[in-house]
Structure 1
Amino acid sequence: DPNYVLGVIRAQATAGDPAGAATRARALVAASPGAPAAQLALGDVLAMAGRFAEAAQVYARAADLTFDEPTMLRLVDAWGRANRPREAAAALSLYLQQNPQSLPGQRILGHWQLLGGDADAAIETLESIRRIAGHRDAALLADLATAYAASGDGVVARRYGRAAYRLMPMNAGVCDAYAVALAADGDLPGARQLAVKAIALAPGDPVIAAHARAIGR
């Protein structure tokens, strides 16, 4: 029973037997080469073991069989963790060509646009998601706050930062985004206070530390 075997594989991996799980997963793939679930199980085992490049290659084979949303998310994440951004971008681009209305796909794209310094493009992408998803996603609102701050619109940045903070006041990324938004709106005392909180919540995050230095905490 393939479903039973999949359950055993994931149980082995979770129980700390990645080698045994990988062996069983490879056997399942060999027995069912056309089954995407078998490929995903093997990829998951490899990813749990930190072998992200190998996992991505397995996920890519699963995508050749069925390129659905869970497969895309695994594939993009694995390529990213393997420090292969071009492959991750190519996978996301192909998925969005086939599924242009995918909110998770657009969400990743908007975040990447923001990280790449293209604030205007990020705003356009993220706002299209917000119009559908509403104001209940703190990470989305935080990215919007950061994007508007980067574009020079501190008023709007502050509004989104405040909304994100109301939802998740103990999230380091949200505190950081709100701090950046407040700084863009000219409220440096408030920005410094939140920057200190963000660092306390995530003391090893280099992005948060850089923002705190720029704010002048």
Structure 2
Amino acid sequence: MMTFRISATSPYARKVRIAVSVLGLEDQVKVSLADTYDPADQIRTENPLGKVPTLLLDDGRTIYDSLVILEFLNDLGGGEALIPRGSARIDVLVAHALASGMTDAALLRVYEKRWRPAEMYSEKWLAHHAGKMERALDAMEAAPFDWSDRPHIGAIAKACGLGFLDLRFGGEWRKTRPKLVARLDDFSRRVPAFEATAFGG
């Protein structure tokens, strides 16, 4: 059985957990919590970067970075289960990149305040990443979560990124983006794993 190292509030790990559920692979993957701040946690030997998500395979290999893990799961699911082939592939990867970039910017804002004392906050740095988030949200508001039978990684990444903004920024994005709110609600209804992997759960 594969072992999937996560933290309970990682939006990147949540993407993979949803993908595992969408593909019906839960019986092949054991979820294991990691503490990336604990020097004694095995995550630092399993992944030299000491980051989650990290997937430990039965053959001894280790896969890390959420997109690489999603590519692996896509192949496991038949080669286009999460990432289509052909011209649609680029559109899905760009959607994933947009959502992941927004999430990265949000996380950098969180880290700025988590790791620096208040007198050392860089307001310029915080504003720079806030701008990335706002532009990404505007782009998402203008475009649908375009999937039919099964969500692709772009839709999954958007949902997890928005969930992370709800967690860390109090859902402020919801006030001015009604279409995006409706799309996330629709995703939540159609993909039970979204609620099942709610942060902290």
The structure in which a higher percent of residues are strand is 2
The bucket for the TM-score relative to the shorter chain is: 0.3 to 0.5
Q: Which has the higher contact order (CA 8 A, sep 6+)?
A: 2
- TM-score normalised per structure 1: 0.31
Larger Rg: 1 or 2?
1
